[in-house]
Amino acid sequence: MRTIGLAAALVLAGLAQQAGAAGSQPAAKHASRAASSSAAPNLGPHNSNAPINVSSDNFVGNFATKVGTYTGNVIVTQADYKLRADSVKVSVVQGKPSRFNAAGKVVFMSSSGVATGDTGIYDLGPRTVTLTGHVVLTKDKDVMHGTALVVNMVTGEAHLSAQGAPGNRVQGLFVPQQQSSAKAGKPGTPQGGGQ
């Protein structure tokens, strides 16, 4: 069980790199059963204050509601993180973006892992990314499934829950790395040069 917890920590840690702030805010909490882990130190910080670049096929802005909607192959990039979706609504508060609501084939990518979901929210206030729906995390051959993922961009902590899934349980599949063995130690290989 300890190996599964460590593997889960590695999958989740790759999606939430620690920023190292001393007085950081606590991550969002779920009342449902959840798999959670803190990111390991020295994974490298994510700059959540870096400029955010958005590109898409179309854009519609509503000055009354202060919401801008990007549609068609939307890509939101901030430092080493990238979010892709069919559409993204950006809410503006005091002239600055405060929240990105993504829908349709949402993919959140970091340098060491990928998470997908039906919907996604990047909330710039608490610096959290939330994916909901059919959530899948992948890192190399390791895969985890749930229904909600909350990643705190400041603390590097991630919570995966599975409320509404069969048994309300998070599912994980972890593939151990294959050890390369020397030819002399393989079964069926003659050892020595005798007759």
CB atoms within 10 A of CB 105: 14
Q: How does residue 190 score in pLDDT terms, banded at 50, 70 and 90?
A: low
**Residue with token string 């909901």:** 132
Q: How does residue 130 score in pLDDT terms, banded at 50, 70 and 90?
A: very high
Q: How does residue 51 score in pLDDT terms, banded at 50, 70 and 90?
A: very high
Check pLDDT > 90 for residue 29: no
Domain boundaries, given as residue ranges, for the chain: 2-18+29-40+88-175
Check pLDDT > 60 for residue 114: yes
Contact yes or no for 92/67 (Cβ under 8 A)? yes
In whole angstroms, give the CA distance from residue 114 to residue 12. Answer: 10
Q: Which CATH class name applies to 2-18+29-40+88-175?
A: mainly beta
Q: How does residue 30 score in pLDDT terms, banded at 50, 70 and 90?
A: very low
Check pLDDT > 80 for residue 92: yes
Q: What is the percent of the chain where pLDDT is above 70? A: 68
Contact yes or no for 191/182 (Cβ under 8 A)? no
Contact yes or no for 50/156 (Cβ under 8 A)? no
CB atoms within 10 A of CB 23: 5
Check pLDDT > 80 for residue 150: yes
**Residue with token string 């009354």:** 64
pTM for the structure as a whole = 0.69
Report the range of poorest mean pLDDT among 127-131, 156-160, 163-167.
Answer: 156-160
**Residue with token string 């790199």:** 17
Check pLDDT > 80 for residue 141: yes
Write a three-state SS string for the chain.
CHHHHHHHHHHHHHHCCCCCCCCCCCCCCCCCCEEEEECCCCCCCCCCCCCEEEECCEEEEECCCCEEEEEEEEEEEECCEEEEEEEEEEEEECCEEEEEEEEEEEEEEECCEEEEEEEEEEECCCCEEEEEEEEEEEECCEEEEEEEEEEECCCCEEEEECCCCHHHCCEEECCCCCCCCCHHHCCCCCCCCCC
Check pLDDT > 90 for residue 134: yes
Q: What is the mean pLDDT of the chain?
A: 75
